Every structure is written in structure tokens, then in C-alpha cells.
Amino acid sequence: MRVALLGPIAWRTPPLHYGPWELITSLLAEGLAARGIDVTLFATLDSVTKATLDGVIPTGYEESAHDGRVWEALHVSHALARSGEFDLVHNHLDWLPLAFSQHCAAPLLTTIHGFSGPNILPAYRQARSHYVSISDADRSPDLTYVATVHHGIDLSALPFSAGGDDLIAFGRIHPDKGTDLAIEIARRAGRRLVICGIVQDADFFARDVEPHIDGDRVVYLGSVGPDDRGRILGSGAALLHPIRFAEPFGLSVVESMACGTPVIAYRKGSMPEVVDEGVTGRLVSDVDEAVAAVSSLSGIDRSGCAARARQRFSADRMVDDYLAIYRKIVR
């Protein structure tokens, strides 16, 4: 089987720091290549992979002066021009390839990593593509799906840890992610908070986050790359995930659980689907419940938390799920 993975190009694959779509595309490419599948990864030309690499843009447009609108169009055009060479094209690049799906000479499968808004749905409704959701919670009633495939993670980079007393907030700094709520939860719980992530909303950071960063009770480590994720996530008593939006999946959530660090998450989006109540974390509705959940962390066994997460969210399981879908579509 010859498979083309049409990856995103905002960042390198795999990403050096932020880039969840690039990370999943990388894990899938490496897992498929390890199984002997003939894989071509369409990504930035500085990407690192055991698959065959092809592309047009030297580096990610978020890491350079390249105009993302122009280079994504060139990227899609280049990949679809080669689509007749493959048994299947697997799109991880959001809606743009769907606008040109009639020009794809192989069956097209699209993993929907999340909808940026209802305005992009026409591209999905009209496209000739199979769809995979990353959680049942993130499905649109307007679309038909072949499966839900939960993301997998690189377990080798996320060793089990006995943890510590700190609370962790890990992810892009944006009102959606509730970084300010995490600060309030930690303050009321009497715990130190370690914040990691890119600043995606500068005004929010300056107004609601930065004034609280003192290097003591609230520490900001910036964007954290893959080499440090496991160490930091494993060092916490819990990961705080007080989201204000319907989270499509939550990679840092399952990464934390795999290290043995339970998650305290707001009951929105995929969280009831991803977090096993009382085993890998606590689902709460507001700050008061989150503070109470911090007090009840001793009731969660860290080794049991890690075991459940590793059983549910390994990269190997994700690759197996996608291979089964590929074979069904190609047949």
C-alpha cells in the first residue's frame, strides 16, 4: 500500500515546540513506516522522518516570513498533483485540500483535528472525502464519519513519575484554555503553579496572566519542546485544564496521564471521553469544584492513572486504527 500523508506546514514535522497537528502526523508517519507501509510525507522540507519526505516550503510559516495562505495553497497543489501515485491520501491539513478534492486521483481521507468555526463547514459538506473525528464529542451532525480515532502519544518520551506538589498548566495561553482560571485554582488550593505554552493571545497574557507571574508561586517556562514535556508533566501533582471551549481532544491531557499525573479538567468537549473519572483525573464544572478536586488527589493512584492512559492512548494503537481504516477504504 502506498500512502500519502498531507501534513500541515505551520511548523516542522515533528514540531520543535508547539504544533499538535504536526506531532500527530509525525507519529503516524513513523508508525506506518515501521510497519513497512510505503509512506510519503508532504510537510516542510526541514521535517525529520523515516518516510519519504516531499514538499515545497523550506520551513514552517509560523517560524519564518512565509505567507501561510500562499504556501498552504502551493503545498496542497503540489501534493494533489502527485495523488495518482498513491492508493490513498490522508489529509491532516484542515479544509483547504477539501476545496480541491475533485482533483485528488486517489481516495481521500481527512482527519478533522477541530473546526475553527462553522464558516468552514461548506468545504467539508461538498468534498469527496472520508472523515475521521478525533473524538465523538467533536463530530458535526452535518457530516458522516468512517470512525473516531483518538490521538496516540509517544510513550517512550513520557516516563512514569512519582510526581510532586506543583500544579501544571500546559498549553497555548489563550482564554479558551483558561490559563487565568488555572492561576485562580492554584492560588485558592495553596499550590504553586507551573505554566508552559506559547502565548497565542498577547492581550490576554498581558492582562490576566503576566501580572501573576512572580517566579515563585506562579512560574512561566515558555514554550516547552518534546524533550522536556515528560519531565515537567510528570513532576506535577495534577494538570489543570479549566477550558472555556469544547476541547476537540487535548494532547497534553493524555500526555500528563501517561506520566501518572492526573488531570483536573472542566467537563467540556472531549474531556468526559478522554478522562476516566477517579482513575486518570477529575471532571469538574467550576473553580470551586476544581479546588476541591485538588484536595482529593490522594484518592487517585498514579500508577493506575499511567496504566490506563498507556493502554488507551499509545501511538501504536492509533497507527493500528488508521491502518484498519486505510485497508477498508482501499478495498
Instruction: Please report, for the domain that includes residue 160, its CATH number.
Output: 3.40.50.2000
**pTM, two decimal places:** 0.94
Say whether both 105 and 195 belong to one domain.
Answer: no
Residue labelled with grid coordinates 459538506: 125
User: What phi, psi does 178 have (nearest 5°)?
Assistant: 70, 35
The total number of structural domains in the chain stands at 2
> Per residue in 135-154, pLDDT tens?
999 999 999 999 999 999 99
pLDDT tens-digit readout, 286-328: 999 999 999 999 999 999 999 999 999 999 999 999 999 999 9
Whole-number pLDDT of residue 226? 85
Looking at the structure, do residues 123 and 186 belong to the same domain, yes or no?
A: no
CA 134 – CA 297 distance, rounded (Å): 28
Q: Which domain holds residue 306?
A: 155-312
Based on the fold, state whether residues 249 and 137 are members of the same structural domain. Answer: no
Same domain, 17 and 29: yes
Q: 160 and 142 share a domain?
A: no
Are 297 and 192 in the same domain?
Answer: yes
In terms of domains, do 68 and 181 share one? no
Same domain, 303 and 168: yes
Which cell numbers in the block locate residue 48?
525529520
Same structural domain, 201 and 251: yes
Q: Are residues 160 and 292 in the same domain?
A: yes
**99 and 80 fall within a common domain:** yes
- State whether 14 and 51 are in the same domain: yes
- The ranges of the chain with pLDDT < 70 are none
